[in-house]
Structure 1
Amino acid sequence: MLSLPPGEFDAYLFDCDGTVADSMPLHFVAWRQALGEWDCELSEDLFHAWAGRTVPDIIADLNAERGLAMPVAVVAARHLALYQEMLPELAAVPGVLEHIEDAHGRIPFAVVSGSSRESVTASLTTLGLLDRFEVLVCDGDYRRPKPAPDPFLLAARRLGVDPARCLVFEDADNGIRSAEAAGMAWVRVPPPQQRRLTHG
């Protein structure tokens, strides 16, 4: 089980992709295929560096950086469709799932994601975890995405919990910066390759 920082917490706030759902490898495949249809490459390094950002922002930045004119809504919808096709392969992140099972019913949970509500709902439904979360904060719910504090502060407000009493579970640097900006304690969820090394 992941070790948590010391202290008592009144809510747990979880990123979704790469934190609750071991979905980053599936999202990378979906991104590569969706972008490849527009002759746009996405390296694995850039994919991980941009973790926690919203799908429309990523497409818009790729357009700007590479002089492309990919239609944001079309590519975003294609990425989501490709990801949903792979949902039968999705698993939960074991160390995080243990904390969800252990604390469920004692303190409230929220998911705080840069992904669309449709994507987050599909992932959590596939994992049988949707009913564990009182609040879902997704792309479109906040003005400034991670690494701004807005998504986590909104989740705390919707749960009625002081931000200083929230613990954030995150796998991405952008998400950890967002949690810190919100004045919240956090625990880093290791990426799949590190989890394999740690747990054989």
Structure 2
Amino acid sequence: MRLSIPSGPFKAYLFDCDGTIADSMPLHLLAWNEALAPYGAHFPADLFYAWAGIPVPRTVEMLGEHFNLKLPPQEITEAREAAYLKRLPQITPVYAVKEEIERHRGRAPMAVVSGSPRASVIRTLDYLGLLDRFAVIVGGDDCARGKPFPDPFLLAAAKLGITPTDCLVFEDGELGIEAAKAAGMQFVRVPVSATGILP
């Protein structure tokens, strides 16, 4: 997979986690459906990929609204996280993105900006051996408004002390790309498919 990188220059690099750094989206979909099954609910793949980047509790609310079901956000969030963590050994990095991370290591500050809970992001990065590459981690529980709002990317830029227009975002999700644009940041689209990362 080749990434189309804007010429820059950039002073900081911001990365989504799931589907961008980690080839974990198919595993997250399995975890979601395991957590939803006791409630008679199902997360269709097309909706799952369309809603990528939205914080987990909000996603539970949206699923309830979409299917006219009463779903308990806290219980499903906890069950989804447990179902994901047991699949952690199956995760691999998105190698083209990992190359970019290694290229900028020690040269420019980097952050992870994800809709997943911060603890989940930390576990994923730690498992992949990439946690120490990032100066800042913004999880879905760090902002009142998640993607597609610009808030998570703006928070990461502020924590890094870098002007938003000097940041480059790596994203696989449409809502994340919307958020990057709204933050005034250029972006790199990481290709995905319903079965995971494209070759």
Q: Same fold (TM over 0.5)?
A: yes
Task: Tell me how far apart the structure 2 counterparts of residues 26 and 65 of structure 1 sit (CA, whole Å).
Answer: 22
Residue in structure 2 matched with residue 181 of structure 1 by the alignment: 182
Residue in structure 2 matched with residue 142 of structure 1 by the alignment: 143
Q: CA deviation at 1:41?
A: 1.4
Task: Tell me how far apart the structure 1 counterparts of residues 141 and 46 of structure 2 sit (CA, whole Å).
Answer: 26
Structure 2 residues without counterparts, runs of 5 or longer: none
Task: Tell me how far apart the structure 2 counterparts of residues 186 and 64 of structure 1 sit (CA, whole Å).
Answer: 31
Q: Supply the RMSD in Å over aligned alpha carbons.
A: 1.3
Superposition pairs of residues 77-116 of structure 1, within 5 angstroms: 77-116=78-117
Residue in structure 2 matched with residue 118 of structure 1 by the alignment: 119
Residue in structure 2 matched with residue 154 of structure 1 by the alignment: 155
Task: Tell me how far apart the structure 2 counterparts of residues 157 and 195 of structure 1 sit (CA, whole Å).
Answer: 30
Task: Tell me how far apart the structure 1 counterparts of residues 107 and 22 of structure 2 sit (CA, whole Å).
Answer: 22
TM-score normalised over the length of structure 2: 0.95
Task: Tell me how far apart the structure 2 counterparts of residues 188 and 3 of structure 1 sit (CA, whole Å).
Answer: 8
Task: Tell me how far apart the structure 1 counterparts of residues 132 and 160 of structure 2 sit (CA, whole Å).
Answer: 15
Residue in structure 2 matched with residue 55 of structure 1 by the alignment: 56
Query: Alpha carbons of 1:194 and 1:83: their partners in 2 closer, same or farther (altered >3 Å)?
Result: closer
Task: Tell me how far apart the structure 1 counterparts of residues 183 and 39 of structure 2 sit (CA, whole Å).
Answer: 37
After superposing the two structures, state which structure 1 stretch, 11-20 or 140-149, moved more: 140-149
Structure 1 residues without counterparts, runs of 5 or longer: none
Q: Does 1:43 align with 2:19?
A: no
3-state secondary structure, aligned to 1:37: helix
Residue in structure 1 matched with residue 72 of structure 2 by the alignment: 71
- Following TM superposition, the consecutive aligned residue runs of length 4 or more in structure 1 with deviations greater than 2 angstroms are 64-67, 192-196
Residue in structure 2 matched with residue 26 of structure 1 by the alignment: 27
3-state secondary structure, aligned to 2:52: coil
Q: CA deviation at 1:65?
A: 2.6
What is the one-letter code of the residue matched to 2:90? Answer: E
3-state secondary structure, aligned to 1:12: strand
TM-score normalised over the length of structure 1: 0.95
After superposing the two structures, state which structure 1 stretch, 168-177 or 55-64, moved more: 55-64
Q: CA deviation at 1:194?
A: 8.0
Cα-to-partner distance string for 1:136-156 (whole Å, 9 max, x where unaligned) = 001221121111110000000
After superposing the two structures, state which structure 1 stretch, 147-156 or 60-69, moved more: 60-69
Task: Tell me how far apart the structure 1 counterparts of residues 130 and 163 of structure 2 sit (CA, whole Å).
Answer: 25
Task: Tell me how far apart the structure 1 counterparts of residues 44 and 142 of structure 2 sit (CA, whole Å).
Answer: 28
3-state secondary structure, aligned to 1:70: coil
Residue in structure 1 matched with residue 15 of structure 2 by the alignment: 14
3-state secondary structure, aligned to 2:181: helix
Percentage of matched positions with identical amino acids = 51
Task: Tell me how far apart the structure 2 counterparts of residues 45 and 66 of structure 1 sit (CA, whole Å).
Answer: 14
Task: Tell me how far apart the structure 1 counterparts of residues 73 and 196 of structure 2 sit (CA, whole Å).
Answer: 33
Task: Tell me how far apart the structure 1 counterparts of residues 20 and 125 of structure 2 sit (CA, whole Å).
Answer: 12
Query: Alpha carbons of 1:194 and 1:141: their partners in 2 closer, same or farther (altered >3 Å)?
Result: closer
Q: Is the 8 A contact 2:25 2:196 kept in 1?
A: no
